[in-house]
């Protein structure tokens, strides 16, 4: 679909994150995987090796580990602005899953749609925006509104 047909947004941050202090926007992740299925092998390896390190490195994120009989292992990430993202991790290796988690941790929770401009500023102009009267010399004599009959 074209960019007009798909949703788009402007570049912004949640609650001016980073201006004051940086707050990690990822609230909680739930890792849903199966104990026996083949597609959850990478997930099980990650739970054995990497999840505790991840949880220690990101104390602001709650990690829920949930072994369930499921065919498709998932990571459900919830962000501070309320958005929920689900990523499937079928047949991914432990390394790929930890890279995916780093990616999710570094995201703000805003939607992954086309960003209209790669820049944003709250103070677009220091000296004042240009308009056609800027730097235009004043005409000689006082200016009065034109009378409509004078033509």
Partner 1 sequence: MASGYLLNRGALTLGIHCQRVCRDISLSQVREKKRWMKAYTYLMAKKLKLEGPPPPTPRSQQPHWDYHAEIQAFTHRLHENFSLELLKTAFINPCYLQMEQEKRKGLGVESETAALVLKDNMQLSKKGSAFAESFLIDWCRASFPSLPAIGVESIVGHLTSPAVLTYVARNLGIEDLTMSAEFPVPDDVLCSTFMAVIGALQESSGAERTGLFLRDFLVTQLIGKDLFDMWTVVNPMGLLVEELTKRKTPLPEPRLIRSAGASTVLPLYFVGLYSDKKLLAQGPGETLAAAEEEAARVALRKLYGYTENRRPFDFSPQQQQQQPFIQSASN
Where along the sequence are the contacts to partner 1 (CB under 8 A)?
A: 14-16, 19-21, 23-24, 27-28, 30, 32, 57-62, 64, 66, 68-72, 74, 76, 80-82, 84, 122-123, 125-128, 131, 133, 136, 138, 142-146, 148
Q: How many residues does the chain have?
A: 151
Paired with 79 in beta bridges are 26
> In angstroms, what is the minimal distance from the CB of 123 to partner 1?
6
How far is 151 from 84, CA to CA, in rounded Å? 66
Closest approach, Cβ 32 to partner 1, in A, equals 5
Burial 55-80 (b: 16+ CB within 10 A, else e): eeebeebebeeebeeeeebbbebbbb
CB 102, min distance to partner 1, A:
11
| H/E element, 73 | none
Q: Which is nearer to partner 1, 8 or 81 (CB)?
A: 81
Q: Which is nearer to partner 1, 25 or 94 (CB)?
A: 25
Instruction: Give CA separation, 87 vs 41, 69, 78, 118, in Å.
Output: 16, 17, 11, 25
The residue (of 1 and 140) whose beta carbon lies closer to partner 1 is 140
- Nearer to partner 1 by Cβ, of 2 and 123: the residue is 123
In the bound complex, what is the minimum distance in angstroms from residue 3's beta carbon to partner 1? 26
């Amino acid at each position: 679909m074209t960019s007009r047909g798909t949703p788009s947004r402007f570049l912004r941050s949640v609650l001016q994150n980073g201006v004051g202090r940086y707050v990690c926007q990822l609230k909680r992740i739930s890792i849903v995987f199966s104990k026996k299925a083949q597609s959850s092998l990478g997930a099980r390896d990650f739970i054995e090796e990497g999840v505790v390190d991840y949880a220690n490195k990101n104390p602001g994120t709650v990690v829920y580990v949930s072994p369930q009989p499921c065919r498709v292992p998932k990571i459900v990430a919830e962000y501070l602005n309320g958005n929920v993202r689900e990523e499937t991790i079928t047949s991914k290796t432990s390394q790929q899953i930890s890279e995916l988690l780093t990616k999710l941790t570094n995201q703000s929770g805003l939607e992954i749609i086309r960003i209209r401009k790669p820049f944003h500023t709250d103070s677009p102009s220091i000296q004042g925006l240009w308009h056609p009267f800027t730097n235009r010399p004043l005409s000689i004599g006082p200016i009065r509104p034109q009378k409509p009959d004078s033509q």
